[in-house]
Structure 1
Amino acid sequence: MYLAPHANRWYRLAFWLAVLTIAYNLLEGLVSVWFGLADESLTLFGFGLDSFIEMISGIGILAMVLRIWRYPGAPKGRFEKTALQITGTGFYGLVGILSTMALYNLATQHKPETTLAGVIIAAISISLMWALIHYKTQAGVALGSEAILADAKCARVCMYMSGLLLASSLIYAVSGIWFADSLGALGLAYLSFTEGREAFAKANGAECGCHGE
């Protein structure tokens, strides 16, 4: 199908934004899990696991961009649906892990060694997520693509998670309140549940409803 140079330019941007999302989530996941374990910060550790799940979701988004670029109006392919189903399952699994560990930490009054890494990682993540949302929205508007716009809206949940990590890490760093990290992990569990629900909804053909929208 012939596409005007203007449309090709925006689809190319959407493609590279999806690639950047995958690469960044892989790096963010590795760094966050490493420091989460080293600092005994459950919120940062959970944030890292979430990043790996977001990476799988990003692969599904990349497949979506390629599909609507090459075959506008075509239904979701099996690969795209499978990526979304794996993502949804991963998020629900993360809910169980974070909830169980957070309740255990609350019962034992466990606190992290430090949350400085969480503050730095969250600040970087918020900045990048804001940029991704901005440019994905621009691409979606320029192409008139509801799918790309839905992806931009759903990316806001990732920014909410980064904000939650920043808040819990800052609170502990400044005040030393021992349960701040555990509460942050429970907050991540809640947002993970909403993301899991949205992933299964999109796998079944629904557009992203996006928590908070």
Structure 2
Amino acid sequence: MSTPETRACDDGCCAAPATVTAARRAALGRRVRWLVAATITYNVIEAVVAISAGAEASSAALIGFGLDSVIEVASAAAVAWQFSGPDPEARERTALKVIAVSFFALAGYVAFEAVRTLTGAEPAEGSTVGIVLAAVSLLVMPGLSYAQRRAGRELGSASAVADSHQTLLCTYLSGVLLVGLLLNALFGWYWADPAVALVIAVVAVKEGRTAWRGEHCC
């Protein structure tokens, strides 16, 4: 699971497998599964609300945010699948590939919708529901990300850390989305919505490449 390269992280975040007892590894594995379950539950709700509100307001940014939640569910499910087997290490590379592909799919769709809006499609309307959702996510996601990243690092699992990065990405996107929606609602800056969507696409590509290469520090 952990290669010599990933254990040689500059910030010393990786715990060598020998320093983690079997009992501790089992406890960490259970913690990761519980955190994954919480992440999936929240993101399913977030996706339904964001996509519905985005469709109503013709908001590429809100729809992209909702799709990111769908991707987060897929990412978390990949980690859950990995840790459901007797040998999580053997499944880690596959889990990372699933996470990477999910990022790329998100980036492609969101970029297409953003460009379509900027080049003459129906401009986005204001969305109070979207503003509230972005604010709530901005409060919830950092705690989930920190807890999963901490457990993943101690366990030495690159996929768990990669999934925590996905959750942290949702935090950043919540902040960016909130700014874009407020600008549109308060000042009528409709272009802020597709601009935010393009930011989401760019960040998703970056995270996808990192996951594909297995470069998340564990």
For 2:217 and 2:56, how far apart are their aligned partners in 1?
Answer: 36
Q: 1:94 to 1:138 in 2, by over 3 A?
A: closer
Structure 1 residue 162, shift from structure 2 partner: 1.6
Structure 1 residue 103, shift from structure 2 partner: 1.9
Q: Is the 8 A contact 2:183 2:192 kept in 1?
A: yes
Structure 1 runs not aligned, ≥5 long: none
The residue number in structure 1 matching 2:73 is: 55
- Bigger RCO of structures 1 and 2 (CA < 8 A, at least 6 apart): 2
Structure 1 residue 34, shift from structure 2 partner: 0.8
State the TM-score, normalizing by the size of structure 1: 0.78
Structure 1 residue 93, shift from structure 2 partner: 3.1
2:82 maps to 1:64: yes
Structure 1 residue 31, shift from structure 2 partner: 1.4
Structure 1 residue 27, shift from structure 2 partner: 1.8
Match of 2:90 among 63, 75, 98: 75
Structure 1 residue 110, shift from structure 2 partner: 3.7
What secondary structure, in the 3-state scheme, does the structure 2 residue paired with 1:111 have? coil
1:147-167 deviation line (CA, Å, top 9, x unaligned): 344543443222112221111
Q: 1:190 to 1:108 in 2, by over 3 A?
A: same
Structure 2 runs not aligned, ≥5 long: 1-20
The residue number in structure 2 matching 1:208 is: 216
The residue number in structure 2 matching 1:111 is: 123
The residue number in structure 1 matching 2:33 is: 15
Q: Matched residue pairs, number?
A: 197
Q: Is the 8 A contact 2:125 2:190 kept in 1?
A: no
Q: Is the 8 A contact 2:161 2:216 kept in 1?
A: no
For 1:15 and 1:112, how far apart are their aligned partners in 2?
Answer: 38
The residue type paired with residue 75 of structure 1 is A
Alignment of 1:95-110 (within 5 A): 95-108=107-120, 110=122
Q: 1:108 to 1:96 in 2, by over 3 A?
A: same
What secondary structure, in the 3-state scheme, does the structure 1 residue paired with 2:90 have? coil
What secondary structure, in the 3-state scheme, does the structure 2 residue paired with 1:76 have? helix
What is the root-mean-square deviation in Å for CA atoms of aligned residues? Answer: 2.7
Structure 1 residue 48, shift from structure 2 partner: 0.9
State the TM-score, normalizing by the size of structure 2: 0.77
